[in-house]
Amino acid sequence: MPAVLSRGSRRRTISEINMVPFIDVMLVLLIIFMVTAPLISVGTVDLPTVGASRQKQEPHVLEVIVAADATLRLRVDGNDQGPATAATIGTRLRELLAGSDQTPVLISADRAVRYEEVVKVMDAAQRAGVKRLGLMTKNANR
């Protein structure tokens, strides 16, 4: 209800917002947050690390190596198969897979390589019909 100001015979209403209840509520909320903030436990995230694998090693693995100058090399079970180009990597992978779509293909890229080159290799592998594609990481123990 607005306050009424009377001066003589004329009455006029005062249209002002009473800020006291608003300030009281804000101070109570501030105190509640200040008290509960230290009680909130901060969650920690355990990131996975690369270590010794407990799973058995795949018997047949294809590896695409992307060098620092974006040249490609193919390796099958640790044996070097020679250089490849971005245009021929898909057909070479298709030939080496020989119809086995469950053979894993690993991409090992140098740290200095632009990620765009790695994505191109991944795209070519997907177009070649690779179902199991992985990225090699550096072992934390080295």
The neighbour count for residue 63, using CB atoms within 10 Å, is 20
pLDDT at position 53 is 57
Q: Mean pLDDT in each 10-residue stretch from start to end of the chain (142 residues)?
A: 58 81 95 91 69 64 88 86 85 82 85 88 88 77 50
pLDDT at position 11 is 76
Query: Which helix H or strand E contains 115, and what residues bound it?
Result: helix 115-127
Output the CA torsion sign for 111, 74, 123, 107. Answer: negative
pLDDT at position 4 is 56
Q: How far apart are the first and last CA of the chain?
A: 77
Of 69, 73, 70, 135, whose CA–CA distance to 106 is shortest?
135
pLDDT at position 3 is 58
Domains, the chain: 3-36 (no CATH), 62-135 (3.30.420.270)
